[in-house]
Structure 1
Amino acid sequence: MAIAAVELIAAENRIRNALAPILLRRELVRLGEASDGELLTRVREGGLRRLAHGAYIDASLWESMFPEQRLLAVTLAHAKRYRERNWVFARESAAALWGLPLYGFTGLRVHVATREGSRGHSTRPVARYLTELPEPDIVDAAGVRFTSLERTLLDLAHSATPEVAIGALDAGIRRMFQMERGESASAVAEWRERRLAESKRSGRPGVRAARQLLQIADGRAESVLESVSKLQLSRLQVPYDVQVPVRAAGGTTYWMDFELLGQDAFGEVDGTAKYFDRSTHGAGTPEERLLAEKRREDEVRGVTGKRFVRWGAQHIHTARRLGERLSSFGIAVSGLEHC
């Protein structure tokens, strides 16, 4: 499906901003800004970080980056250093170019899609994948070619770990369909059914995992932690709904991360600054936000009579860990014995 122009513009801006601090050896030497010996010394002393052969970035900037930003920098270093090869970046590299979350992913290997008869082979820094890639599945942003948003999501569903894939799928679906909180997801459901039907005729590796993930992903989760929580709840066979509205006194609507169906309980996942935008969780001091959250919970309990179960990033690394957390709050977890 066609991606909204705003998404491509955002990708172009992201790429240009990330390309700017990447330094190429050939440019530095040609312009007299550094010699080979000086570059080697700066790398050895920790002032520069080598991203690719002949490509560098300031080490302090590198240290401040999240894992997705580091993969983006390494991917773009290869794009800049080997521009003449006209590579099409795919999988996790394409996800980084699109600005998708990659939960728990710390790899730095660049991923490139290649066609039958293409020269070259996989190396330690660059993984090449032989695949059929129609032109509509390729986009060009700021001179960098990579797989379309939809193709990137489907590739991750087939090849990435479920935790990486589900976070990217939810975020990507939300962007493909320009979803707003509380609106109907009928268009998403239709798209998902088409993809599931196509997968029945697919012989691609990882199709079974992709089908399971597509049945969970719907774009309603508003953070990668919610997305991974959905995955773990599904593994635990705990029925749930996502982003559930509760109308409180005075007409205020509160949105619950999860409702644990049939258990008279809401679930809330507490994240970190890395995964949550402060603007979506209120301004003010931490104490003021904590007090506001307590008032919110009190109002919701008063209206619904349901209790709250909270978990954090540390509880969703595995389904077992989340299951044990839920069980400690008296939540029935039928699938825990299989984890």
Structure 2
Amino acid sequence: MELGHDDPRLAAIRLRRELLDSGAHSDQSLARAVQLGWLARPRRGAYVDGPLWRSLSPDQQYALRCRAAFRQAHTGVILSHVSALPFHDAPVWGFDLDDVHLTRVDGRSGRREAGIRRHCGQLMSGDVVELHDVDVMSALRATLEASLVGSVEASLVVVNHFLHRGEYDLPTLAARYEASMDRWPSSLTTDLVLRLADARHESVGETRMAYFFFARSLPKPIPQFEVYDGSTLVARLDFALPELGVWMEFDGRVKYERFLRTGESPADAVVREKRREETVAELTGWRCLRVTWDDLADPPRLERRVRDLIASVSRSRRAAG
């Protein structure tokens, strides 16, 4: 999926040498423009509109730094690893965004310098694509590369994003990994990511919840569990533990904004969600646990809540005979 032409990650970048050669600026006027906030420097020697830069999220600023580094490179390079992800409109949650990752095309060994990590690696057909005038690793290869530099949880977010979007399927991803990358350093993380990957997870929050259950040795829930009233589908639950009488929903703000109906406010969506929860409880007799970003940031506390809820439902069932 390509970015829209007005996406801020594709904002104009002007290099110092271009601005000096055009006569539009001198080094003194550039320094003054940065000081006054008219321009901003995503990297040394690269400039963007100042107000725009300050309005961007860290993820969006990272994409601009990646594009600037690509344009400044003096040898043939490809944006790779986590640095390729923004241009496939993929999440970079949980990754270290301090460095731009570039893979050399000349086969020479990689090295590290200020703000840049250069890699070398064998390329196969289809590994490199051009997006928005930038050479980047394909979604398939970038996914595997990202798992070499990120945590299992962050890498799983990327895999599930692409799987759910239909960018590739799991057998294809596994085949590409086994073709040459299974012997790369840190590939043990990739092995686990491939085992945990699941296309049914629809968001960063849902993937993080699924990983939470795995990491805390909790019962494995069923994602996107469908609840029917007769033959009518009334709800699709983020996660369900049918035998234990519990279901979980990830409550992210984006979730309510994304599914707003025509003429509906966020408050209306919250009320509608509450009614949906009541309907599910009436049909199933189960109890619901809602999980937020703050909950995911405190796994031990969230684990206690989950285990306490499961135990509470179990006690209620025993008391009811």
Q: Same fold (TM over 0.5)?
A: yes
CA RMSD of aligned residues (A): 2.8
**Residue 57 (structure 2) pairs with residue 101 (structure 1):** no
Label 1:191 to 1:305 Cα distance change in 2 as closer, same or farther (>3 A). Answer: farther
CA 1:278–1:59 in structure 2 vs 1: closer, same or farther (change >3 Å)? same
Q: Distance in 1 between matches of 2:119 and 2:239?
A: 38
Shift of residue 319, structure 1, vs aligned partner:
3.6
Helix, strand or coil for the counterpart of 2:12? coil
Asked whether the equivalents of residues 244 and 310 of structure 2 are also in contact (C-alpha less than 8 Å), the reply is no
Select the residue among 252, 261, 282 that pairs with 1:271. Answer: 252
Cα distance change of structure 1 residues 318 and 213 upon mapping to structure 2, 3 Å threshold: farther
> Structure 1 pair 125/324, CA: closer, same or farther in 2 (3 Å)?
same
Identity %: 25
Between the aligned partners of 1:105 and 1:202, the Cα distance in structure 2 is 21
1:231 to 211, 214, 217: 211
Q: 1:324 to 1:272 in 2, by over 3 A?
A: same
Between 1 and 2, higher relative CO (CA 8 Å, sep ≥ 6) is seen in: 1
Length-normalised TM-score, structure 2: 0.85
Assess, with a 3 A threshold, how the Cα gap between structure 1 residues 200 and 324 changes in structure 2: closer, same or farther.
farther
Q: CA deviation at 1:96?
A: 1.6
Q: 1:336 corresponds to which residue?
A: none
Q: Tell me the distance in 1 between the aligned counterparts of 2:103 and 2:43.
A: 18
User: Hey, what does 1:247 align to over in structure 2?
Assistant: 228
Tell me, yes or no, if the aligned pair for 1:315 and 1:325 is still in contact at 8 Å: no
Aligned residue for 1:219, secondary structure, equals coil
Partner in structure 1 of residue 15 of structure 2? 24
Deviation, structure 1 residue 251 = 2.1
**What SS does structure 1 have at the residue aligned with 2:42?**
strand
Q: Does 1:65 align with 2:56?
A: yes
Residue deviations 1:151-180 (CA, integer Å, cap 9, x gap)? 1111122321123211111111122358xx
Query: 2 CA distance for matches of 1:228 and 1:199?
Result: 28
CA shift, 1:114, in A, is: 2.6
Match for residue 154 of structure 1? 144
Give the ranges of 4+ consecutive aligned residues of structure 1 lying more than 6 Å apart after TM superposition: none
Aligned runs of 1:145-294 on 2, under 5 Å?
145-177=135-167, 188=169, 190-191=171-172, 194=175, 198=178, 202-238=182-218, 239-248=220-229, 251-273=232-254, 276=255, 278-282=257-261, 284-294=264-274
Residues 1:43 and 2:16 aligned together: no
Displacement of 1:279 in angstroms is 3.1
Q: Equivalent residue of 1:39, what SS?
A: helix
**Pair 1:240–1:139, CA change in 2 (3 A):** same
Residues 8, 60 of structure 2: 8 Å contact kept: no
Instruction: Indicate the SS of the match to 2:41.
Output: strand
211 and 319 in structure 1: CA distance in 2 versus 1, 3 angstrom threshold: farther
Unaligned runs of 5+ in 1: 1-6, 179-187, 333-339
Q: Deviation of residue 268 (structure 1)?
A: 0.4
Structure 2's unaligned 5+ residue stretches are 313-321
Amino acid at match of 2:121: T
Q: Compare 309-318 and 69-78 and name the one that shifted more.
A: 309-318
Tell me the CA shift for residue 261 of structure 1.
4.8
SS in 2 for 1:329: helix
Alignment partner for residue 117 of structure 2, among 119, 123, 127? 127
Q: Which residue of 2 aligns with 1:91?
A: 81
Q: Which amino acid aligns with 2:252?
A: G
TM-score, structure 1 as length reference: 0.81
Question: What secondary structure is seen at the aligned counterpart in 2 of 1:50?
Answer: strand
Structure 1 309/199 Cα, relative in aligned 2: closer, same or farther at 3 Å? farther
Kindly name which structure, 1 or 2, has the bigger radius of gyration based on alpha carbons.
2
Aligned length: 310
Give the Cα–Cα distance (whole angstroms) in 1 for the partners of residues 256 and 137 of structure 2.
Answer: 27
The change in CA–CA distance for 1:201 and 1:57 in structure 2 (over 3 A counts) is: closer
**Corresponding position of 1:4:** none
